[in-house]
Every structure is written in structure tokens, then in C-alpha cells.
Amino acid sequence: MPQEAALLLEPEDVAGPDLKKNLLEPRSLVNGIVNVLIWSMCILACMPLFAVLIMLIFRGSARLSWSILTELPPTAFEMGGGFGNAILGTVVMVGIGMLLSVPLGILAAVFLAELGPESRIAAVARFCAKTLTGLPSILAGVFAYAAVVLATGTYSAPAGGIALALLMVPTVILTAEEAMKMVPRIMKDAAHGIGCTHTQVITKVVVPTAMPGIITGVILAVARAAGETAPLLFTALFSGYWLFHGGHADFMQPTASLAVLIYNFSGMPYENQIELAWTASLFLVFMVLVLNLLSRAIGQRKTGVVTMVMVVRKMMGKKEQGESK
């Protein structure tokens, strides 16, 4: 009888839930307050970045021209000039650091993720890599000074590149290892199932799949190394000349870099040098910002690939369950 009575009720007699949003309701009120606090904290956290960018754009854009990319730094009372040799020196030393750190970091990550992840050597290597991430950059410069500068008898671009490589290696190792660990197990099992050796699985499946994450780590390491000053003061020093003379490169000489140029020119009492320091700062920050945005874009691509693989795996699992029933 109660069921029949319920069926006889008209739709108007049934009281539905009140779906209207009431801002004075306790839950809605707390939610609004928390949202306001979160947005306020986010804006407050971004204010220093935006303040620095606005100041750099305002002070550094005044001297932006093609000449600053092609001319040499000016002397004390000279007007004009640029920092073309500093850009070239930064690219050369960061390139040397990449040539040393990227192969070593990827090979170490392969061992940590695939060959001996639970071994004692792997535990020691992870500890050393994590410790190096907090290494003061000036200590890397002191090491390169003792190992390269004193041995060769001169400041040089290779010495600066070795110092930067010490700072880049731990970032490459840790990010590459995590990228390889994110490769789905089903892909490795499928490769083993069709007869691939473990070496083939690593070179044909693991490393290509993890490549977006590896590239992200490399870009982050490059972005960090490009802005370092202390290691280059001990290893490359500075120069007012080009690395190339008459079409020939002379790397075994003091080499200019953007970070050291900013350090030197910002403390000079000459307005021309100070303006160039602001413009070089803007150029360096823009370069690092582009590298970080590029790493974010590649990282999102990596996440999308892994997510797609996991979705396919879940669909295959549901299909197998349906067939078994």
C-alpha cells in the first residue's frame, strides 16, 4: 500500500532538492573565502616575477638593437657597443657542458632505472646526484679551476664548460631516471614477448618513449647553467674579444659570457655600461624563460603520451574481462 500511495502522488507534491546557489550557506561561504585566499596568494607569489620582468623590459628595452648582438663590449669611456661575444661565449660553454653532461646523465639514468635499480651502486649514485643538486655553484667553479685552469695555465671556454657540466649532470640524471620509470610496464613486456633483448628494449622502447621527459630535463639543466656567474668567474673569466679570429676558433683563452658581463657592467660608474647590463639581463631572462616554456610544453606532451598508453591498457583489460565472461 505505501508503494501504491507513492505512485499516486502528483509530481507537484514531490519536493525536489534546492539546486540554487546560496552564497550565505556555510559551505558556499567557506568555499568562496578559500578561493579568494588562494587567488590572492597566487597573485602575491607572482608579483615579484612580474615586477622583475616589468623593470627589465622598461630598463633593458631602451638599448635593444641589432648592433648589441654583433658588436663587442665598450671600454670605459666608449659609447655604444654590444655583447655579441658574450652571447657566443655563453652558447659555446653551455654547449660544452651539454656534450659532457647529457650522455653521462642519460647512461647513468639507464643504469638507475633499468639495469640495477635496486643495487647498492644505484643507491649511492642517487644519493650523490641528489647531493649535487644542492651544490653551491661556486664550488663547481673552484673544482674546475683546480682541475683545468691550473693544469692548462689559462682561463678558457672548456674550463667553463666543465664547471657548468658539474651543475647540469644531476638534473639530467634525476629527470631522465624518472622519465624512464614512467614508461608503462606493458610496453616493456610486449617487447620482451616478441623476442627483443633487454638492450633492444632499452634502446628501442624505453629511451624513445621517455625522450620527451629526458629533453625536458636537459632544457632545465641548460636554463640553470646559462645564468650561472660564480663558476665562470673562476674558469672562463671575461674577454672583450671574439672567440673566432680569422675563421679559426681559439677556445683556450678567457671567454666572455652574459652572466659575467652583467656582473662586471652593473658595478661600473658609466651609464653606457649600466644600460648594456640591463639589456643583457633582459636578453638572458628572455632566453631562460623561453627554455622553461619549451620544457613545459615538452613535459605536457610526455604526460599525454603516457596517459594515452594507460587508457589503451585499461580498454584492453576491460575487453579481456568481457571475453572471459
The string of pLDDT tens digits covering residues 244-259 is: 877 788 899 999 999 9
CB atoms under 10 Å from CB of 256, counted, come to 29
The pTM score is 0.79
Q: Which residues pair with 249 in a beta bridge?
A: 244
Cα Rg for the chain, rounded, in angstroms? 29
Q: What is the pLDDT of residue 312?
A: 43
Q: What is the pLDDT of residue 36?
A: 92
Q: What domains can be seen in the chain, in order of their start residue?
A: 83-308 (1.10.3720.10)
Instruction: Classify residue 59 by burial, with Cβ atoms within 10 Å: 0-12, 13-18, 19+.
Output: middle
Q: Which residues pair with 307 in a beta bridge?
A: none
Residue located via cell numbers 653551455:
94
| CB contact burial 102-124 (16+ within 10 A = b; e otherwise) | beebbebbbbbbbeeeeeeebee
**Residue 136: its H or E element:** none
**Which cell numbers in the block locate residue 201?**
628494449
Q: Identify the three-state secondary structure at position 267.
A: coil
Q: For the segment 15-65, what is each residue's pLDDT rounded down to a tens digit?
A: 555 566 666 677 778 888 899 999 999 999 999 989 988 999 998 888 888
Helices (H), the chain: 2-8, 26-60, 67-70, 84-110, 120-133, 137-144, 150-152, 157-181, 185-193, 198-201, 207-226, 230-235, 258-266, 271-324
Q: 232 and 264 in contact (C-beta within 8 Å)?
A: no
Tens digit of pLDDT per residue, the chain (325 long)?
A: 455 555 555 555 555 555 666 666 777 788 888 999 999 999 999 999 899 889 999 988 888 888 888 899 998 888 888 999 999 999 999 999 999 999 999 999 999 999 988 899 999 999 999 999 988 999 999 999 999 999 999 999 999 999 999 999 999 999 999 999 998 888 888 888 888 888 999 999 999 889 888 988 898 899 889 989 999 999 999 998 888 877 788 899 999 999 999 999 988 888 999 999 999 999 998 888 888 888 778 766 654 554 444 444 454 454 455 555 5
Whole-number Å distance between alpha carbons of 254 and 226: 17
